[in-house]
Structure 1
Amino acid sequence: METSTENNYFHEASYIDQAGQLRTTRVPVVQELARQGLKHLPERFVALQPEHDQNPALSSHHVSEPLPSINMTKLRGNDRAEELAKLLTGAKTWGMVVVEGHGVAESVLHGVRDVVKEFFGLSFDEKKASVGSYVSVDNMGYGRNFVKSEDQPLDWIDRVTVKAAPAGATEGLHVWPQRPANFRHAIEQYVAEARNIFNDILEALAEALSLERHVFLQNFNPHETVINLRVNYYPPCPRPDQALGLTPHTDASALTLLLQFEASGGLQVLKDMEWVTVPWPKDAMLVNVGDLLEIMSNGIFRSPWHRAVTQMDVERFSVALFYNPSPRTQIEPIGNCSLANDDVVEGYKKVVVGDYLQHFYRISPTVKKQAISFAKRVPRS
């Protein structure tokens, strides 16, 4: 559970160490630090500056040309060849695509924004009383994520994490905020709509590769598919040049759907060894490829190395949904994504989703795309 003393607030977070042991550590509550009006950055939040060929420095970024954008209404229609081509380009070159015309009602989106802002508007003690925090590898409830060691630099973020599907996944756990009272209802309405977007994108990606539309989606049993929710809050930061909102990483999911609120400009993706800022229009969403889909496509679709940056005078909120097959599902390159030549160095092997996820959460995020090497094929000698 989180603990607090006067002007001193902490979350507990867990991680798996290199020996495979579950460890816990205390980390400061960023929102409470920001409320104190800090003029300097606490040392634990100063980001490392890794070698350039692995992870360019914080200052190495520029504003990009717009990401490829698709219109879901057109993609769902009969005349969709142009949208399929844009989707394929985005998944292969960026690993990301902006989604407009998604069909999610404004009332649903506004409902999500309202409950998220109301929750983070509560005092720390009110938030703590409203929702639990579970010290496990999932770090569900109110707390933090991406804590992988006792001494790592910390991200400038607070969050709420919930397993939103399958049904009953959080039964008996106090992980859904009780305040505001409609938090769970608002989020579950959105998750139901998002599931349709995920499924349609997976079918469209298969079609774009001239495969049967079901070949990716067949890995997602509707009664066992996992949808993880992460609500991110990035308070204003006294030194955006020194701190990150989220450490560079790929997503372990098959697909991720990201919804931002009013503020934009916090997401960056590594492209051609430069950090590129990727804003997108208000009320649009962003879909990005995760490691599991990179494996299923045998590297045709690339899980992008991305991060969130901080801003001095702006607070940001985002809602991320991560779409995964059941942990018991075995995945492999599908259809003509498979390689006939077993001697080829590049390419992926069969992996069990749960095994991959367990590996992913043990690996340091500071080395670019290290985790996915777990699923690489070993060439014949």
Structure 2
Amino acid sequence: MPDDVEEAAKLRSALQSWGLFVVTGHGMAKEFLDDILEATRRFFHLPLEEKQKCGNVIDGVKFQNEGDQLHKYTLESGRVTMDVLKAMAKLLNQEENFFINMVGERFKSYSRFTYYPPCPRPDLVNGLKPHIDNSVITLLLMDKDVGGLQVLKDGHWVDVPVLGNDLLVVVGEGMEIVSNAIFKAPWHRVVTSADKERLSLATFYQPEPERIIGPPGVLVHEKHPAMFKKCLVQTLADGYWDAFAAGDRTVDFLNVRINAEADAELEAHAVVVNN
């Protein structure tokens, strides 16, 4: 994370205008990340009956974690996430545990491995529809060779470049709430390729579900009033998929937002729904 004043300014600008940034020098070996993506590829190429043998739900009820590589990646990505949250706090001139204390040190994480097969009509089908993550932040390990992730910026979809072994941090609505909308959660989507498959591993970090989160008083003042009501994290989680299905933001679907960010936000939302 940047200590240099100029680099810190660039990071803050990226978080305020784009809602995402690239993490380099994260400490995870290239070979390790390559192995994770290759294991993911092998799994998705298995016949359905072989995939079903890897289920981690016992008797349809009890869930158990599986996978030594995923366990190691979870530990490593958790370390990166803590560093990211500390750096984001410093950008707002707060002590480094500012956001960690609000979301809880035992915040939840879950990983989603996604396979996007080639699509003969990529002009008609999205790999993943436009949405905003309900996380505090999302840590994304993307395909090293094939792009497809796009972010909405000023009413236009912009391609996120292929990053190799670098990681992408995406701001979620949880962070937008606890930063009082200083850091923006971006609309993003995945488009398909006509002739190439694509893989990704997204790890979503969410506040402890029993937490009540809202804009902290230190970030609320006359020129920047509270943008959101206080809300139980579990309520946000429960409402996410209904909001996703409706093509809406969770904070709007659940009426958590106090001050809608005027015409620019509404126009951006219209573009997302209509494209």
TM value normalised by structure 2:
0.86
1:172 and 2:62 equivalent? yes
1:105 and 2:6 equivalent? no
* Residues 78-106 of structure 1, C-alpha deviations (whole Å, 9 max, x = no match): x4323322221111000010111111122
Query: CA 1:238/1:208 → structure 2, altered by over 3 Å: closer, same or farther?
Result: same
1:269 CA drift (Å): 0.8
1:236 and 2:236 equivalent? no
Query: CA 1:347/1:119 → structure 2, altered by over 3 Å: closer, same or farther?
Result: same
What does 1:182-331 align with in structure 2 at a 5 Å threshold?
Answer: 184-222=67-105, 224-331=106-213
Letter in 1 for 2:199: F
Letter in 1 for 2:62: G
Query: CA 1:286/1:189 → structure 2, altered by over 3 Å: closer, same or farther?
Result: same
Aligned equivalent of 1:338, options 207, 214, 220: 220
Counterpart Cα distance in 1 of 2:194 and 2:259: 46
* Residues 201-242 of structure 1, C-alpha deviations (whole Å, 9 max, x = no match): 1111111111222111113433x3211100010000011000
1:12 — aligned with what? none
1:174 CA drift (Å): 5.6
* Residues 160-192 of structure 1, C-alpha deviations (whole Å, 9 max, x = no match): xxxxxxxxxxx932664xxxxxxx110111111
Counterpart Cα distance in 1 of 2:211 and 2:184: 21
Secondary structure in 1 matching 2:71: helix
Letter in 2 for 1:90: A
Query: CA 1:261/1:102 → structure 2, altered by over 3 Å: closer, same or farther?
Result: same
**What percent identity do the matched residue pairs reach?**
36
Secondary structure in 2 matching 1:130: coil
The structure where helix makes up a greater share of residues is 2
1:324 CA drift (Å): 0.9
Letter in 2 for 1:103: G
1:124 and 2:26 equivalent? no
Instruction: Tell me if the contact between 2:133 and 2:173 (Cα under 8 Å) persists in the aligned partners.
Output: yes
Instruction: Tell me if the contact between 1:98 and 1:280 (Cα under 8 Å) persists in the aligned partners.
Output: no
Instruction: Tell me if the contact between 2:180 and 2:220 (Cα under 8 Å) persists in the aligned partners.
Output: yes
Counterpart Cα distance in 1 of 2:86 and 2:146: 29
Aligned residue pairs, count: 257
Counterpart Cα distance in 1 of 2:64 and 2:96: 38
1:378 CA drift (Å): 7.3
2:237 — aligned with what? 357
Aligned equivalent of 1:377, options 231, 235, 258: 258
Instruction: Tell me if the contact between 1:131 and 1:175 (Cα under 8 Å) persists in the aligned partners.
Output: no
Secondary structure in 2 matching 1:82: helix
1:273 CA drift (Å): 0.7
2:19 — aligned with what? 95
Secondary structure in 2 matching 1:363: helix
1:366 CA drift (Å): 4.8
Secondary structure in 2 matching 1:268: strand
Letter in 1 for 2:63: L
Secondary structure in 1 matching 2:98: coil
Query: CA 1:278/1:341 → structure 2, altered by over 3 Å: closer, same or farther?
Result: closer
Larger Rg belongs to: 1
* Residues 314-347 of structure 1, C-alpha deviations (whole Å, 9 max, x = no match): 00000000011110011111253224589x6x71
Secondary structure in 1 matching 2:242: coil
Counterpart Cα distance in 2 of 1:336 and 1:264: 42
2:267 — aligned with what? none
